[in-house]
Amino acid sequence: MKQTLLITIFALCTNLLFAQQIRSIDYQYERKQEKYYAFELFESDTFGVDSRLFIDFAANDAFKKVKKITLSDGSKEFKLKFGFREEQIKTDNPALNFYPIVIAWNDVTANVLSCEAKITFELDNGAAYSLPFDVCLINEILKSDQNLIFAESL
Protein backbone atom coordinates (compact mmCIF):
# COMPACT_ATOMS: atom_id res chain seq x y z
CA MET A 1 0.00 0.00 0.00
CA LYS A 2 2.76 2.39 0.97
CA GLN A 3 4.71 1.57 -2.18
CA THR A 4 1.65 2.10 -4.39
CA LEU A 5 1.03 5.49 -2.79
CA LEU A 6 4.64 6.56 -3.35
CA ILE A 7 4.58 5.44 -6.98
CA THR A 8 1.31 7.30 -7.56
CA ILE A 9 2.70 10.50 -6.02
CA PHE A 10 5.90 10.18 -8.06
CA ALA A 11 3.92 9.67 -11.28
CA LEU A 12 1.70 12.65 -10.49
CA CYS A 13 4.67 14.92 -9.77
CA THR A 14 6.42 13.82 -12.96
CA ASN A 15 3.28 14.46 -14.99
CA LEU A 16 2.91 17.95 -13.48
CA LEU A 17 6.54 18.81 -14.19
CA PHE A 18 6.28 17.76 -17.82
CA ALA A 19 2.96 19.57 -18.20
CA GLN A 20 4.65 22.86 -17.31
CA GLN A 21 7.30 22.59 -20.02
CA ILE A 22 7.14 25.17 -22.76
CA ARG A 23 8.42 23.89 -26.08
CA SER A 24 10.14 26.04 -28.67
CA ILE A 25 8.52 25.93 -32.10
CA ASP A 26 10.76 28.16 -34.20
CA TYR A 27 13.90 30.25 -33.83
CA GLN A 28 15.16 32.64 -36.48
CA TYR A 29 18.05 35.07 -36.31
CA GLU A 30 20.16 37.30 -38.49
CA ARG A 31 23.63 38.69 -37.94
CA LYS A 32 24.84 41.50 -40.21
CA GLN A 33 28.19 43.03 -39.29
CA GLU A 34 27.53 44.41 -35.80
CA LYS A 35 23.73 43.95 -35.86
CA TYR A 36 22.06 40.90 -34.37
CA TYR A 37 18.34 40.28 -34.06
CA ALA A 38 16.24 37.20 -33.49
CA PHE A 39 12.93 35.80 -32.38
CA GLU A 40 11.92 32.59 -30.69
CA LEU A 41 8.36 31.32 -31.02
CA PHE A 42 6.91 28.91 -28.49
CA GLU A 43 3.58 27.64 -27.20
CA SER A 44 1.88 28.96 -24.12
CA ASP A 45 0.94 26.27 -21.62
CA THR A 46 -2.73 26.98 -22.45
CA PHE A 47 -2.36 26.83 -26.26
CA GLY A 48 -5.05 24.18 -26.73
CA VAL A 49 -7.58 26.43 -25.00
CA ASP A 50 -6.80 29.93 -26.28
CA SER A 51 -4.34 29.47 -29.22
CA ARG A 52 -1.84 31.94 -27.76
CA LEU A 53 1.79 31.78 -28.82
CA PHE A 54 4.72 33.55 -27.24
CA ILE A 55 7.49 35.38 -29.08
CA ASP A 56 10.72 36.56 -27.51
CA PHE A 57 12.20 39.23 -29.78
CA ALA A 58 15.84 40.17 -29.18
CA ALA A 59 18.15 42.72 -30.77
CA ASN A 60 21.42 44.39 -29.91
CA ASP A 61 19.81 47.75 -30.61
CA ALA A 62 18.65 50.36 -28.12
CA PHE A 63 14.86 50.15 -28.00
CA LYS A 64 12.16 50.18 -25.36
CA LYS A 65 9.30 48.51 -27.19
CA VAL A 66 8.07 46.92 -30.39
CA LYS A 67 5.59 49.32 -32.00
CA LYS A 68 4.25 47.15 -34.80
CA ILE A 69 4.54 43.60 -36.13
CA THR A 70 3.62 42.78 -39.71
CA LEU A 71 3.46 39.50 -41.60
CA SER A 72 3.90 39.47 -45.36
CA ASP A 73 4.44 37.00 -48.16
CA GLY A 74 5.21 39.37 -51.01
CA SER A 75 1.65 39.74 -52.28
CA LYS A 76 -0.12 40.24 -48.96
CA GLU A 77 0.75 42.09 -45.78
CA PHE A 78 -1.17 42.49 -42.55
CA LYS A 79 -0.59 43.97 -39.13
CA LEU A 80 -0.42 41.34 -36.41
CA LYS A 81 -2.20 42.07 -33.13
CA PHE A 82 0.08 41.43 -30.18
CA GLY A 83 0.47 42.12 -26.49
CA PHE A 84 3.38 42.60 -24.13
CA ARG A 85 4.11 39.75 -21.70
CA GLU A 86 5.11 40.77 -18.19
CA GLU A 87 8.18 38.55 -18.07
CA GLN A 88 11.80 39.20 -17.31
CA ILE A 89 14.13 37.52 -19.82
CA LYS A 90 17.57 36.87 -18.44
CA THR A 91 20.72 36.76 -20.56
CA ASP A 92 24.45 36.79 -20.09
CA ASN A 93 24.82 39.28 -22.96
CA PRO A 94 24.13 42.83 -21.69
CA ALA A 95 24.11 44.20 -25.26
CA LEU A 96 20.87 42.35 -26.07
CA ASN A 97 17.48 43.90 -25.42
CA PHE A 98 14.46 41.63 -25.25
CA TYR A 99 10.76 42.22 -25.77
CA PRO A 100 8.39 39.39 -24.72
CA ILE A 101 5.27 39.23 -26.90
CA VAL A 102 2.05 37.22 -26.98
CA ILE A 103 0.08 36.65 -30.20
CA ALA A 104 -3.06 34.71 -31.13
CA TRP A 105 -2.31 32.02 -33.72
CA ASN A 106 -5.90 32.36 -34.99
CA ASP A 107 -5.04 35.89 -36.21
CA VAL A 108 -2.21 34.45 -38.31
CA THR A 109 -4.25 31.62 -39.81
CA ALA A 110 -7.23 33.91 -40.51
CA ASN A 111 -5.02 35.84 -42.96
CA VAL A 112 -3.95 33.17 -45.41
CA LEU A 113 -0.27 33.50 -46.22
CA SER A 114 2.07 31.40 -48.28
CA CYS A 115 4.54 29.22 -46.43
CA GLU A 116 7.43 31.58 -47.16
CA ALA A 117 6.30 34.60 -45.16
CA LYS A 118 8.34 37.27 -43.40
CA ILE A 119 7.73 38.75 -39.98
CA THR A 120 8.81 42.37 -39.46
CA PHE A 121 9.31 43.95 -36.06
CA GLU A 122 9.13 47.76 -36.08
CA LEU A 123 10.74 49.31 -33.01
CA ASP A 124 10.15 52.60 -31.22
CA ASN A 125 13.57 53.87 -32.38
CA GLY A 126 12.53 53.63 -36.05
CA ALA A 127 14.43 50.43 -36.88
CA ALA A 128 12.65 47.53 -38.59
CA TYR A 129 13.90 43.94 -38.64
CA SER A 130 12.56 41.19 -40.92
CA LEU A 131 13.02 37.46 -40.46
CA PRO A 132 11.59 34.34 -42.15
CA PHE A 133 8.30 33.06 -40.73
CA ASP A 134 7.33 29.61 -42.06
CA VAL A 135 3.59 29.52 -41.44
CA CYS A 136 3.15 25.99 -42.85
CA LEU A 137 5.89 24.45 -40.71
CA ILE A 138 4.59 26.16 -37.57
CA ASN A 139 1.04 25.04 -38.33
CA GLU A 140 2.26 21.46 -38.88
CA ILE A 141 4.13 21.45 -35.56
CA LEU A 142 1.12 22.84 -33.71
CA LYS A 143 -1.23 20.27 -35.26
CA SER A 144 1.12 17.40 -34.41
CA ASP A 145 1.30 18.67 -30.82
CA GLN A 146 -2.50 18.75 -30.60
CA ASN A 147 -2.71 15.20 -32.01
CA LEU A 148 -0.13 14.05 -29.46
CA ILE A 149 -2.07 15.66 -26.61
CA PHE A 150 -5.29 14.03 -27.87
CA ALA A 151 -3.61 10.62 -28.14
CA GLU A 152 -2.15 10.91 -24.62
CA SER A 153 -5.57 11.73 -23.20
CA LEU A 154 -7.11 8.48 -24.54
Mean pLDDT of all residues belonging to the chain: 82
Model's pTM, two decimal places? 0.77
Q: 116: domain CATH number?
A: 2.60.40
CA distance 71 to 118: 6
In a domain, residue 74? The reply is: yes
In a domain, residue 7? The reply is: no
Which whole-number Å values give the CA distances from 26 to 88, 105, 138, in the listed order?
A: 20, 14, 7
pLDDT tens digit sequence for 72-130: 988 889 999 999 998 888 888 888 999 999 998 888 888 877 888 999 999 999 999 99
Domain count for the chain: 1
In a domain, residue 39? The reply is: yes
In a domain, residue 110? The reply is: yes
CA distance 141 to 121: 23
In a domain, residue 8? The reply is: no
Domain that holds residue 88: 23-153
In a domain, residue 15? The reply is: no
Per-residue b or e along 22-47, where b marks 16 or more CB atoms closer than 10 Å to that residue's CB:
eeebbebeeeeeeebbbbbbebbeeb
The residues with which 69 forms a beta bridge, in sequence order, are 121
In a domain, residue 9? The reply is: no
